[in-house]
Amino acid sequence: MDKNTFFGTSSSLTTSHVPLIPIISDKHLSLLLPIIIYWVYSGMYHLISIYRVPFFEKYRIHSPVEIEAKNKVSISEVIKGVIVQQFLQTVLGFIVVATEEEQALPDDNAEILVLGQTLETFTTKAALYNHPIEGFLFDSLGAALAFTLSGLSVKGAIVFFTFSTFKTVDDHSGYDIPFNPIQRIFGNNAIYHDVHHQTFGLKKNFSQPFFTFWDRMLGTYLPYNEVPKILKESSRGISDDDLQALNKSETTESRTSSKRYNLRSRKNLS
């Protein structure tokens, strides 16, 4: 079976050897651009966070005190871990795209988006800090599998994986910014995925990075506006650190009038 007809994706691809950027091939660009986007976009949020830019402080999901208390990994460890993962996924990427033809974008992308969401929900792409072996086996191989099974062209891979990286960094930014179009369009956003990184939410909100339908179908969906109720009404399954952090945040809120739980009404579009 032709790769491009798998899962009903379009087989009417036209060969296009004209690269998107003249000085670099599309194959190399598909591997390089997501890495550039990762460091530029995450670096921007890091600077906003460490310098506590006043304009963005009111959009923090967690207070700086809470972040400092709960983050057990140093920045240097995170940087080292990310570099190792990106090296491994780049090597794998070279192997995967080595035999690919330079093709134009397919006409039908709906199946590709759904398949990509499915594979990334159950594996997640390597853009985060975790163990290198875990990252390679579940994250990088999952992304390679999504690329191979979907029949995605090299140009399509540039668009999909660059945007996926951008979206994943945004989901882990720690800021719930109302005028951020990415966070407004997708119900799976920073404030939604933040629940998954809390002790009480480790088994919730696995879906990443676009939609929430797998969480809804599998019973792991937990909207953020239910978090305060869960924390206050029941201490079962919640660590002392989480409860202490909540109390600290509420004390900070009363002094600074900044809200830890940003409970603005938000229509879930996914």
Can you name the residues that pair with 77 across neighbouring β-strands?
none
Coil vs helix vs strand at 103: strand
Distance CA 126, CA 2 (A): 28
Distance CA 151, CA 109 (A): 10
Which range of residues forms the domain containing residue 60?
A: 23-256
Q: What is the pTM of this model?
A: 0.71
Whether residue 7 lies inside any domain: the answer is no
Whether residue 27 lies inside any domain: the answer is yes
From the list 81, 45, 66, 68, the residue with the least C-alpha distance to 168 is 45
Whether residue 268 lies inside any domain: the answer is no
Alpha helices in 9-74, H assignment, sequence order? 26-50, 54-57, 64-70
Whether residue 162 lies inside any domain: the answer is yes
pLDDT values of the chain reduced to their tens digit, one per residue, 270 residues: 444 444 444 434 444 578 889 999 999 999 999 999 999 999 999 999 999 999 999 999 988 888 888 888 888 998 998 898 899 889 888 888 877 665 544 444 444 444 444 444 443 433 455 677 777 777 778 778 878 888 888 898 899 899 999 999 999 999 999 999 999 999 899 999 999 888 888 888 988 888 999 999 999 999 888 887 776 655 544 455 655 655 554 444 444 334 443 433 444 444
Give the number of domains in the chain. 1
Distance CA 71, CA 198 (A): 11
Whether residue 261 lies inside any domain: the answer is no
Q: What is the dihedral of CA 192, 229, 261, 185, to 10 degrees?
A: 30
Whether residue 265 lies inside any domain: the answer is no
